[in-house]
Structure 1
């Protein structure tokens, strides 16, 4: 049970940190990478951040791997 609570606290801290750093992360181009799909029509926008999601997933996996090591 203690491991689960630590994981939830770590996830929460990562989300808070990402929220605080968001103005600088946007400047890096996250969300507008090649492979992110944007379809714009009149009154409709579809956005699928495929590449951004992969990069964020890899980074989070590395962080959790280092924490558990």
Structure 2
């Protein structure tokens, strides 16, 4: 398998993971949302943690492939 083949496989996996995460954005328990009058404050704590873990795993796998 050439270097380009591995890169395309990793890019495909990244897109699949992003697609799965995108469907859960804003719905994870632990995301904070406050509404007061016309103002809404949203802070995605759990979404940020999950995204961080997933990205760390992806970069770890990329590092192992190289």
State the TM-score bracket (shorter-chain normalisation).
0.5 to 0.7
Number of matched residues?
50
List alignment gaps of at least 5 residues for structure 1: 1-12
Normalised by the length of structure 1, the TM-score is 0.60
| Superposition RMSD in Å | 2.3
Q: Which has the larger radius of gyration?
A: 2
Q: Which has the higher contact order (CA 8 A, sep 6+)?
A: 2
Q: Name structure 2 gaps, 5 residues minimum.
A: 1-10
User: TM-score, normalized by length of structure 2?
Assistant: 0.63
Stretches (4+) displaced over 2 A: none
> Match of 1:31?
26
